[in-house]
Amino acid sequence: MSATAPWGWIVLIALGLCLGGLGWRLYGLLARPYRPDRAQPRGPAWRGIVYAFTWGMMPWAKESTRRHFLPYLRGVLFHLGIFATLATLVISPWRSALPAWIAPAGLVFTGIGAAGGLIGILMRIFDERLRALSCPDDYAAVALVTVWQAAGMAFWADLRWTGVFYILSALTLVAIPLTKIRHCIYFFFSRFFFGLFYGRRAVLG
């Protein structure tokens, strides 16, 4: 048994806690009373829903992203790094058997994500408007995910960082339902009801 094998089990336990916590959050969300729209629909809701999950997410679809494209791009790169770090965690047990090109690609994408996270933290610190809107949870969530991505980058650079990567992966998984990182499930609900509401009014789609 390798020295990092116990951490693999800890990551699995953390994953179970994460899924359980998200399930609890989801149950609370679905238990809230739903008030249907009583207005007569003027268009098909599905068009608005499709728009909300496709073109409605493009930078030119919203004034805020059109006027602040660089922060939008930073967010895209940050979240791209999150997906890359999650993929790193999933395939990490087979690291030595992977094709040679995987390691440089993983290093680049996790590094991009970590850089995006660091820039996001600095923006919250030095931008007066962002600082006024931010709470301790914002800083803690972004900092944890950024350090986790940096650990993923270190994992691709040197296998001796595997244990550290697993530790931070476990911490991040446990933190997801407890911090603002849980917006990963709220996002889909917000986009769905956004599209549903405006699609029925024939505004989107």
Q: Which residues contact 137 (CB under 8 A, 6 or more apart)?
A: 179, 180
Q: Strand, helix or coil at 182? A: helix
8 or 155: which leads in pLDDT: 155
Classified by CATH at the fold level, domain 4-32+45-201 comes out as: Fumarate Reductase Cytochrome B subunit (1.20.950)
Instruction: Write down the pTM of the prediction.
Output: 0.83
Q: How far apart are CA 152 and CA 80, in angstroms?
A: 13
Contacts of 205 (CB under 8 A, 6+ apart): 43, 44, 46, 47, 48, 50, 51, 195, 199
Tell me the three state secondary structure of residue 31.
Answer: coil
Q: What is the pLDDT of residue 27?
A: 87
**Rounded-to-integer distance, Cα 65 and Cα 59, Å:** 5
Residue ranges per structural domain of the chain: 4-32+45-201
pLDDT-based confidence at residue 1 (cuts at 50, 70, 90): very low
Give dist(CA 49, CA 191) in Å, integer.
7
3-state secondary structure of 127: coil
CA end-to-end span of the chain, whole Å? 55
pLDDT in tens, 142-169: 999 999 999 999 999 998 999 999 999 9
Q: What are phi and psi of 179, to 5 degrees?
A: -125, -175
Predicted confidence at residue 205, as pLDDT, reads: 56
